[in-house]
Structures are given as structure tokens and as C-alpha cells.
């Protein structure tokens, strides 16, 4: 393939609009078209591929994002490491809107999504015990702390089907299970990267308290407007964190993730 990249980022045009010499390319895959064109740019000495997981016009709801095409396109470009920021809700009072969480576990509550590349005749059973790249997690935590961001160094994200938000009862159940963060896109994105031998880290930007917190009538249930508002208020912090991570990343690293 003519086009190549070292690092992938699932993020909208705000992540690369200020970079020079950005080239947008169309990539076809055996799993259909990715969410949108992929933007290729240089960050220092690294070639980076940016792809908005929902599409530039946010035309794909969480349950219809073409996850397999997105990940396969990154693999086709030669990407070996992916940074995946997400807007997420908090299930705990100590994890506040505006905080970042570097997740270390997920719980899948989705249904019907195409969530594996191993559909036969080749069948593999990979371990999902540690779904995220520990090396990239440590880099994200260190970089965030260096930038003065309130960043939580671990968290379990429960992934719901969407596009609706949780009921009060569902949210109460998720909290009672000890889960920390709620999101609609981490599955199967995370595990598809693992199947392809790509390092993957999620940085969850907390935008809300889901359906509210138990015993806190002053905290209203999440709504779309509030999510967008908090995300936009913190977008510059997300960009700064990701760009600094890219600068600190070793593009020639050999990681256990590459040998799943």
C-alpha cells in the first residue's frame, strides 16, 4: 500500500485540523468502508492516521459504527499502536465530569455487533484477561499527570448498546457491580485491535454522571447537550494529551500486544 502510518487515533477533525500537510485517503477493506476518510499527517517524526469513529458528520450511532473496517484499515496502513479517546459517563462520585480515566478492563453489555475477525475457516481464541496495552496505559497516565490533568490510573468501563442512555435502575446496577465508567463504543473496538495485534489504549473523558448518583437529587440524568458541552470544554486537554503521547511514543517498539 502506498500510504503508511505508525500510530492511529480515533478522533474527529479537531485532532488534526491544525497540523500541516494533512492528506485524506479512502481505504477499502474486506469488511466494507471505514467510518470516513482517514487523515494522514506527521507529528514530529511519526506518521499518524486519524479516523473519526462516528464519521465526520457523526452519522454512525454507536451500535452501527463499522468497527471491523475501522480497525482493519488501520492495520492495512501499518498502524501498530492506537490511542482511542472516548466521551464517557461516571458511575462513581469520586470520578467527576472533566476527569480522565485510563481504563484497564471492560464489561460488554452490547448485543448483535460484529465483534471478531475469526469467523472461520481460521478460528482463534485469544485471551481478553488484560484487554488494554499496559505500556500505553502507563504512558497515558504519566503524560496526563505531567500536564496537570486529573487522571485516574484504572477503571472498568461497562459498554452499553446505545444510542439511548441508561435507565436509573440500570445505572444503579452498574454502580453496585463496582464498575467505574460507562460508554457505548469500547466494545468491540478494543478487542478487535487485540485480535489484529495492535496496541490499544482508551482515554475516557468523563462528561456526566450517567443517570445520576444514588441519593444525590442535585445531579440530573445525562443528556446529549451536556455531554457535548463538557467534551468541548475539555477538547483542548484531550488534544494536548494525545499529541504529547505521540511525541513520547517509540514507533519501533516491540510489545507483547503484537504477539497475541
- Annotated active-site residue 217? The verdict is no
Number of domains in the chain: 1
Catalytic residue among 115, 210, 218, 254: 210
Which pLDDT score, from 0 to 100, does residue 232 have? 75
Q: Which of 9-18, 140-149, 179-188 has the lowest mean pLDDT?
A: 9-18
For the segment 118-147, the average pLDDT, to the nearest whole number, is 95
Model pLDDT, residue 218: 64
Residue 229, Cβ neighbours under 10 Å: how many? 14
Q: Is residue 64 part of a domain?
A: yes
In a domain, 2, yes or no: no
Residue 68 is placed in which grid cell?
471491523
Would you say residue 162 lies in a domain?
yes
Q: Residue 257: inside a domain, yes or no?
A: no
Give a yes or no: residue 254 inside a domain: no
Catalytic member of 108, 208, 217, 252 = 208
**1 inside domain:** no
- Percent of residues, the chain, with pLDDT higher than 90: 76
Q: What is the pLDDT of residues 185-241, one digit of tens each?
A: 999 999 999 999 999 999 999 999 887 666 566 666 767 777 777 777 778 899 999
Q: Average model confidence (pLDDT) for the chain?
A: 91
Among 63, 89, 97, which Cα is nearest to 174's? 89
Mean pLDDT calculated for residue range 249-254: 91
More confident residue, 234 or 117: 117
CATH number of the domain to which 70 belongs: 3.40.50.1580
Pairing of strands 81-90, 199-208: parallel
Residue 91 included in any domain: yes
Q: Provide CB contacts within 8 A for 173, sequence distance 6+.
A: none
> Is 210 one of the annotated active-site residues of the chain?
yes
* Structural domain harbouring 102: 7-249
Q: Which stretch of 116-130, 170-184, 227-241 has the lowest confidence by average pLDDT?
A: 227-241
Name the 3-class secondary structure at 4. coil
Tens digits of residue pLDDT in 140-171: 999 999 999 999 999 999 999 999 999 999 99
Does 77 map to a domain? yes
- Tally DSSP H helices, then E strands, for the chain: 6, 11
Per-residue buried b or exposed e for 12-42, using 16+ beta carbons within 10 Å of the residue's own CB:
beebbeeeeeeeeeebebebeebbbbbbbbe
Rounding to the nearest 10 degrees, give the CA dihedral for residues 144, 203, 8, 259.
100
Amino acid at each position: 500500500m502506498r500510504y503508511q502510518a505508525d500510530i492511529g487515533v480515533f478522533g474527529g477533525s479537531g485532532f488534526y485540523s491544525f497540523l500541516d500537510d494533512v492528506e485524506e485517503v479512502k481505504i477499502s477493506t474486506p469488511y466494507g468502508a471505514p467510518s470516513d476518510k482517514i487523515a494522514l499527517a506527521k507529528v514530529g517524526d511519526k506518521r499518524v492516521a486519524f479516523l473519526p469513529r462516528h464519521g465526520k458528520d457523526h452519522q454512525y450511532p454507536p451500535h452501527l459504527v463499522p468497527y471491523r473496517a475501522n480497525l482493519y484499515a488501520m492495520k492495512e496502513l501499518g498502524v501498530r499502536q492506537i490511542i482511542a479517546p472516548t466521551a464517557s459517563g461516571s458511575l462513581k462520585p469520586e470520578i467527576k465530569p472533566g476527569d480522565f480515566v485510563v481504563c484497564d478492563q471492560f464489561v460488554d453489555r452490547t448485543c448483535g455487533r460484529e465483534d471478531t475477525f475469526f469467523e472461520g475457516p481460521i478460528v482463534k481464541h485469544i485471551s481478553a484477561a488484560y484487554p488494554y496495552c499496559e505500556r500505553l496505559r502507563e504512558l497515558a497516565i504519566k503524560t496526563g499527570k505531567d500536564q496537570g490533568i486529573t487522571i485516574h490510573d484504572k477503571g472498568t468501563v461497562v459498554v452499553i448498546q446505545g444510542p439511548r442512555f441508561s435507565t436509573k435502575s440500570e445505572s444503579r446496577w452498574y454502580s453496585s457491580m463496582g464498575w467505574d465508567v460507562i460508554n457505548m463504543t469500547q466494545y468491540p473496538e478494543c478487542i478487535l485491535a487485540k485480535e489484529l495485534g495492535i496496541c490499544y489504549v482508551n482515554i475516557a473523558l468523563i462528561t456526566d454522571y450517567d443517570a445520576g448518583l444514588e441519593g444525590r437529587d442535585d445531579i440530573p440524568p445525562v443528556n446529549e447537550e451536556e455531554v457535548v458541552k463538557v467534551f468541548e470544554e475539555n477538547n483542548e486537554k484531550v488534544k494536548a494529551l494525545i499529541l504529547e503521547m505521540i511525541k513520547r511514543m517509540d514507533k519501533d517498539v516491540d510489545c507483547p500486544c503484537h504477539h497475541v
